[in-house]
Structure 1
Amino acid sequence: MPLLALLILWLPLLPHAGAEALLIRNVQMINQGEEQRPLVSIVIKDNKLDLVSEDTIPIDQVDRAYDAAGGTLLGNLEPGQPASFLILANNSMDDIEKLMDTKRYARFAIYEGELLKNFFRRITVETAEGQAAAKQGWLAYAAPPIAVPLNYRDSTRWNKYEGEWVSGLFAGAIMLDRQRWLDQDRSSERQVGDLTQEYEGGEIRGLRFGGVGTLNFAKPWVWTAFAATHAFDSGFDATDDDDFTLYDLRLDIPLWEKASFSIGKQKEPISMERIMSLTQSPMQERAAVSDALLPARNVGMVVASNFLGDRMTLAGGVFNNWLDKDQPNSLGDNATQYIGRLTWLPIESKQQSTTMHLAMAMRHSNGKEGLFAATDPEFNNAPDFVDTGIFTTDEFTTYQAEASLRSGPFWLHGEYTRTEADTGPGDNEYDLDGFHLTGSWIVTGEMRPYNYQAGIFGGVPIAKSVEQNGWGALELSLRYSELDLSEYPTDSGKMDIWSAGANWMLTPYMYFTLNYRYITLDRYGEEGDTHGLNTRLVLLLE
C-alpha cells in the first residue's frame, strides 16, 4: 500500500501531537551508495520538523523523548515544514518483506504534523551519552547540535569521483569584495597617497579551484592540488605571470599511526593564523605581522606527529622554492629554510568545550635571496603601508609564539612574531617584529572545533543553516595588531590597526562578512590615520 494512502487511513484514528517538542533518538538514515548508515536524533516542535542531527540532544530540552532503537526512516525531511515520515523496525533495510509491509512494521508515523503511530519506548532517565552532552561544571559548554545536511541521502555528487585506485573531490572558492575608505587625514595622504583614487570599489579578492583526494593504497595517501587566478584584479595590462598561481601541490603519506610525511608546495608549519584557511578566519585578512614576516606557501617537505594522547604535536620541515616561477633553477641559488613547530594543550575540559593551546615555532633561512618585509593595512585593496625593500642578509631567523583559549563560543587568540636579520660581519643586526590579539564570539552558540593533528582551531560549524529553517551562524570579532619594521634604516614604518568584524554564515557554502579597521601609520617622520570598511561575499564549492 502506498505510504501516503497508509498515513491517511490512520489519520482520523489517532490523537493530535499537540504543540510540544518531541525528540526521537537513534533513527537510522539511508545513505545512497554507502554501507554505513548514520544514527541521528530528530526534533519536532509545534508539529514541524525542527532539527535532524547526529549530535546527542539532552532530553531536558524537549517535552518527550523516545528511542527508535535503530529504526529506519522513510519519508521527506524538510525543516520548518509539518513533519511527515515513517520509522520502520530495526534492520528493515535488510529485509524486503518489512519494506513492503509498512503497516505491519512501522513503529512511528507522523503526517502533516499529526502523530499517527508511536510504538517506541519513552526515555525518562537520561543516558550516559545524554548526560555527557549536557553542561557539567564551569569548564563545560553545550554547543547547539549540528543539523544533518539536507542532501544526506545523496552521497554521490557531480564534483566527487570514487575509483578503485584514486578518489577525488573538486572544490573551489570565490571571494567578492567591496572596499570603502571612510576617512584619511593629510599625513596619511602624504605617506601612501589618496586611497580613494585607486583603492576603492569592488574586486574579486580571490578565485581558487582544485581538488583533494586519496590514492587508495592499504594506507591511503592524500593528494592536494589548488590554483588561483589574479586576472580579475590585476589590471588590464596584467602579464601571464600575474594571472595564475599554483597554491598547493602536495602529497601526504602516512608513516605510522599518528605521523605523516608531506612533500610539495604547501604551507610551512609555523603560525596558527597562517596554517588556518583564510575562509575560516574570524577576520577577512590575516594580521599584518603574519603577512609581512611569514610566507603564504613554500616548496619542501614536512614530517609531523602527535603524541601524549594528542595533546602535543611536533612538525619539522625543510623548504626551498626553486621550483616556483621566476626563481633560480638550482637549489643552491635559492634560499633554504628550516622550520619547526611544537604545540601543547595544557588545559582541556572533560567535554572538550574549554581548550587552552600553546605553541612555539622557529624558522631559519640562509638568506640567499635577501630579506623583504612589506604588507598592506589588512585590506587587500590597498597599497603596502610598510615596506623594507629587499636587503642583503647572511642569514635570518624568525621566532614565533602563540596562545589560544577557547571556551564554548568564545575564542581568544594571540601571536607574537620576531625576525632577527644578520647583515654580515661588522654590519648591523635588525629586528623586525609584531603581534596580534584576536577575540571572537559566536553569537548563535556554535563552538570552533580543534584539529588535534594540525594543532589549530577550525572554522565555525553551522548548527542550522538557512536551508534547514535556521539563521545560520553569526560571529563577532575584534583584533588589535602591531607591526614594527622601523629598526631598518630606510624608514620602513610602524603600523597599529584596530579591527572589528562580523561574519554571517548562512550555509557552509555561502556567507557574508564585514570588517572595519582604524589604521595608524608612523612613517616618514609623521603619524597618519586612516579608517575604512570592507564587505565580502564568500561562495564555496566542496
Structure 2
Amino acid sequence: MKLRTAIAAALFCAFGTNAMAYDLLNDWPTKYKTADGYEIGLKGLFQYQYEGYSGDTTNPSNGAEFLPDMNAWRRKEINLYGKTPWGLDFNIGYDVTIRNGAPATGWIDNFVRYTNKEAGEFRIGQFKTPVGWEETISSSATTFLERSLPVQATNMGRRIGADWTYTGIKDWLFYLAYFSGGDLNGDNDGDGPAARVVWTPFNRQPGAGSREESNVLHLGLAWSQEDRDETKDGRGVITPPQARFRARPESGMTGTRLIDSGNLNYPGDIDRLGLEFAWIHGPLLVQAEYLTFSADPRGKPSYDGDGYYISGSWVLTGESRPYSKGTIGNVRPVHDWGAFEVALRYSSLDLNDGPVLGGKEDNWTVGANWYLGQHFKVQANYIWANSTKYYGGTIKKNVDVDPRIFEARLQIAF
C-alpha cells in the first residue's frame, strides 16, 4: 500500500493534481448513481507525451528540419455521460488540448444510444468509423502510443451518422452504419454506408482467482464506401471533392508525413476494406490487420493503396488483456505495484500506384507499458521508420528518409 500511494502521488504531482484523495485501485468519485438506476458522471483521458527524433530529420527538398523534438499534451479529453435503467444513454465529449496555439482536436464522441437486449444497440451522433480496427480501440487502451501506418491512412476518423450493433447471436457481432454530413468540427464532408462483422469462435476469459488461462480468437471484416462532397469556405472559395491517403511516422504530434498520396480530385466512390485478427492466450496478445483502399479520380487511372501490420505483446506479470464486444482493453493489474508489458510491431504502407507516387514506408516499433492500477499508464516506444518517396523539383528521384523516434507518455484515465 505504501509503494502504491507513493507512486500515485508522484504521478499525480506530475499532472498537477492532489493524489492523496483517491485510492489507486478503486473508482474515483466522478459519477453519481441513484437508487433506481439512473447514473451521470464524467470521464477523462489526459496524456502528456515526449517525441524525440534522430537520423533523417530534415526535408530532402530544402534541408529544413521537419521532425523537431517536442513535448506537449497529446490529449485532454473530457466526457459527460448519462445512463438510464431502461436502456438510454448519452455522451458529450470534447478534447480541450491546445497545441502550437491552436485546438488539437475539438469535438470527439457525441451521441445518444438506446440498447435493447433483443434488438441490439441503436446510436445517433458522432463516433468513430469501423474500418481500421486499431483506431476504434480506445485511445487509452492502445498497445503502442500511436496507431500503425495503414490504419492512419485508411480510417475515416469520427463522422456524424447512425449505427446499429447486434451481439444477440453467440460468438458473432454485426454492425451497420450510415455516415452523413462530415463531423462536428466542420471537416470530412461526405457520406456513405459502413459495415462490420466479427466472429469469435472461442472466448474464454476466466474470472479473478481462476487458474485457467484466457483464450480468445477474434476474426473480423470491415467495409465502408464514401462519396466526398465539395466544400465552400466563408469567402466563397469552393474546393472540389478530394481523397487523400497519408500517415505520420507513428508519432502523433508531428505534422510531417513521410509518405502522402496528395489530393486526388473528384475521387468518385472511396472504398475501404479491413481484415482483422487477434489472439489472446494468457499474457500473450497477437494482433494484425490488412487494409486496402481505392478511389477513381475523374479523368485519371483508378488508384489503389494498401498496408498491414502485425504486432505482439507479452504481459510479464501474467495478466491477460480483456476483450469485450470486438474490442481490447487495458491490462487490469493484480499487484499493487502494477503490471508490465513488452510489445513489438511491424507495419507497412504502400501509397504508390500508377502516376501517384505517394511513397512506401515500413516501420519497426518496440514498446514497453506499465499499468499502475486502473487509472495510470506509462508507455515508451522506439521506432525505426524507413520510407522511400519520389521527390520532384531539383531532385527528381526516389529518396530514403529513415528517422529514428523515441516517444514516451504519461496517462491518467478515469
Residue 283 in 1 paired to residue 144 in 2? yes
Residue 391 in 1 paired to residue 257 in 2? no
- Tell me the residue number matched to 2:75: 206
Distance 1:244 1:378 in 2: 18
Q: Is contact 2:258–2:401 with CA below 8 Å preserved after alignment?
A: no
Larger helix percent = 1
Deviations 1:154-189 (CA, angstroms, capped at 9, x unpaired): 98x64212356852121212111112113227xx64
Instruction: State the shift of 1:204 in Å.
Output: 1.1
Residue 244 to residue 487, structure 1, CA distance change in 2 (3 Å): closer
Residue 270 in 1 paired to residue 134 in 2? no
Q: Which of residues 178, 185, 193 is equivalent to 1:318? A: 178
Q: Which of residues 503, 513, 524 is equivalent to 2:369? A: 503
Q: Which of residues 290, 294, 297 is equivalent to 1:423? A: 297
Q: Is contact 1:215–1:223 with CA below 8 Å preserved after alignment?
A: no
Q: Is contact 1:388–1:488 with CA below 8 Å preserved after alignment?
A: no
- Tell me the residue number matched to 1:493: 359
- 1:260 counterpart SS class: strand
Residue 193 to residue 228, structure 1, CA distance change in 2 (3 Å): farther
| Partner amino acid, structure 2, of 1:297 | R
Residue 161 in 1 paired to residue 32 in 2? yes
- Tell me the residue number matched to 1:403: 277
Q: Matches of residues 296-375 of structure 1 in structure 2 within 5 Å?
A: 296-309=157-170, 311-322=171-182, 324-326=184-186, 334-348=189-203, 353-368=214-229, 369-375=241-247
Instruction: State the shift of 1:263 in Å.
Output: 0.8
Distance 1:391 1:267 in 2: 23
| Partner amino acid, structure 1, of 2:184 | D
- 1:205 counterpart SS class: strand
Q: Is contact 1:159–1:169 with CA below 8 Å preserved after alignment?
A: yes
- 1:278 counterpart SS class: coil
Larger strand percent = 2
| Partner amino acid, structure 1, of 2:172 | M
Q: Matches of residues 12-31 of structure 1 in structure 2 within 5 Å?
A: none
Residue 348 to residue 428, structure 1, CA distance change in 2 (3 Å): same
Instruction: State the shift of 1:205 in Å.
Output: 1.0
Distance 2:145 2:153 in 1: 16
- Tell me the residue number matched to 1:523: 389
Identity among equivalent positions (%) equals: 23
Segments of structure 1 that go 5 or more residues without pairing to the other structure are 1-77, 82-148, 329-333, 465-469
Segments of structure 2 that go 5 or more residues without pairing to the other structure are 5-21, 207-212, 230-240, 391-397
- 1:251 counterpart SS class: strand
Deviations 1:258-300 (CA, angstroms, capped at 9, x unpaired): 6110110011233331211122111000101111111221110
- 1:499 counterpart SS class: strand
Residue 192 to residue 261, structure 1, CA distance change in 2 (3 Å): farther
Distance 1:151 1:483 in 2: 40
The TM-score normalised by the length of structure 1 is 0.64
Residue 379 in 1 paired to residue 251 in 2? yes
Residue 463 in 1 paired to residue 334 in 2? yes
| Partner amino acid, structure 2, of 1:508 | Q
Instruction: State the shift of 1:80 in Å.
Output: 8.8
- Calculate the aligned-residue CA RMSD, in Å: 2.6
Distance 2:350 2:410 in 1: 31
Residue correspondences, number? 370
| Partner amino acid, structure 1, of 2:379 | T
Residue 198 to residue 262, structure 1, CA distance change in 2 (3 Å): same
Q: Is contact 2:24–2:374 with CA below 8 Å preserved after alignment?
A: no
- 2:243 counterpart SS class: coil
Q: Is contact 2:45–2:77 with CA below 8 Å preserved after alignment?
A: yes
Q: Is contact 1:258–1:306 with CA below 8 Å preserved after alignment?
A: no
Deviations 1:394-417 (CA, angstroms, capped at 9, x unpaired): 112111101111110001010011
Determine which structure has greater relative contact order: mean sequence separation of CA pairs < 8 Å that are 6+ residues apart, divided by chain length.
2
- Larger mean CA deviation between 198-207 and 259-268 belongs to 198-207
